[in-house]
Amino acid sequence: MTSLPSDADAIASSLVDPTMFVAVFDRHADAINRYLRRRVGNEVADELTSETFAQAFEHRQSYDRNRPDARPWLYAIAHNLLRHHYRDEERGLRVYARRGVDPMLPAFDSRLDSVGSVLADTELADALAELTRQERDVLLLIAWAELDYKEVAEALGIPVGTVRSRLNRARNRARERLERSGQYEKQRI
């Protein structure tokens, strides 16, 4: 049985044979794209995904080969690109909070089938919009990208302690909103 090369191996090999870099795309593109879609919508996400891997390829020489998992590095690049879309993201969250329909994802309004869910989501959308960008990044990298604290710290270039504090603030904000909507208490019961 053969084991797949790590991301670090694939990236190192791609310095000799650039085509090896495709393995990194094949492994992580779906997750990166899904994360970006949830943040900024399909169209922008698809563009950013493409750009993320193009930039990653261009900068592969600087990749730290001691890190076998390339996800933090890829999310760092994605976040760097995402910065230009923060306003759109926040605008979308606010619209969602007001109208109950996610403007980023117009095709998914079937979610309106549950009033409770919409209430919770509008509150969450509002909460996410109110977070600072730095807090939102930490929260969503944990919740959506499923990175651990250390990986988030790597992706955002901040200390792990900062990750913890930002996450804590973000969670508190979200909890308050959910409690306000009644969903939180209801679900805890």
Partner 1 sequence: MDELQAIRNFRGDVPAWGEDARHAARSALLSHIAAPSARFRRARRGFGHASSRRHPRSWPRLAVVTAVLLLAGLTAASALAIYDFVVGEPAPTPIAEQLAEEGRADPIIPFFAGIPDVVAKSAHSVAAIKTSGGRAILWAVTAEPGPVCYFVEFETLTRRTGQPRGEAICGTRLSSAVPVAYNVSRANVGRRQVVTVVGWVHDNVASVLLRAPDGTEREVALSERFFIAEVRVEKAGDGNSHTLIAKDAAGATLQRIELHLRSSNLPVVPKSMGTKRTVIETRDSRGRPMSLTLVPVEGGRTCLRFETANGMRVSCPPETRVEEGIGVHPTLLGSLVYFSGSVGPEVAKLELHYEDGSMRELPLVERFVLYDVPRERFAKGKRPTLLLARTADGAEVDRRTIAKRLYFGIRREGDVSP
Binding site for partner 1 (CB under 8 A): 17-19, 21-22, 25-26, 29-30, 33-34, 37-38, 42, 45-46, 49-50, 53-54, 57-58, 102, 104-105, 108, 111, 120-121, 124-125, 128, 139-140, 142-144, 171, 174-175, 178, 183-184, 187-188
Q: 71-82 and 42-58 are packed helices; what angle lies between their axes, rounded to 10 degrees?
A: 120
Distance between alpha carbon 99 and the CA centroid of its chain, in Å? 24
Q: For partner 1, give the closer residue by CB, 25 or 75.
A: 25
Between 1 and 17, CB nearer to partner 1: 17
Between 41 and 66, CB nearer to partner 1: 41
The pairs formed by 27-36 with CB atoms below 8 angstroms and a separation of 24 or more are 27/70, 28/70, 28/71, 28/74, 29/53, 31/71, 31/145, 32/74, 32/75, 32/78, 34/144, 35/75, 35/78, 35/140, 35/144, 35/145, 36/78, 36/82
Phi first, then psi: what are they for 11, rounded to 5°? -70, -40
| Cα–Cα distance, 103 to 122 (Å, whole number) | 12
**Cβ closer to partner 1: 108 or 150?**
108
The least CB distance from residue 121 to partner 1, in Å, is 6
Nearest approach, Cβ of residue 109 and partner 1 (Å): 11
Provide, rounded to whole angstroms, the least separation between the CB of residue 154 and partner 1: 20
Decide whether 66 or 94 has the Cβ nearer to partner 1: 94
Minimum CB separation from partner 1 for residue 104, in Å?
Answer: 8
Nearer to partner 1, 13 or 66 (CB): 13
Q: Report, in Å, the least distance between residue 22 CB and partner 1.
A: 7
Q: How far apart are CB 141 and partner 1 at their closest, in Å?
A: 11
Helix 71-82 to helix 22-40 angle (10° resolution) is 40
DSSP letter at 119 equals H
CB 171 within 8 A of CB 164: no
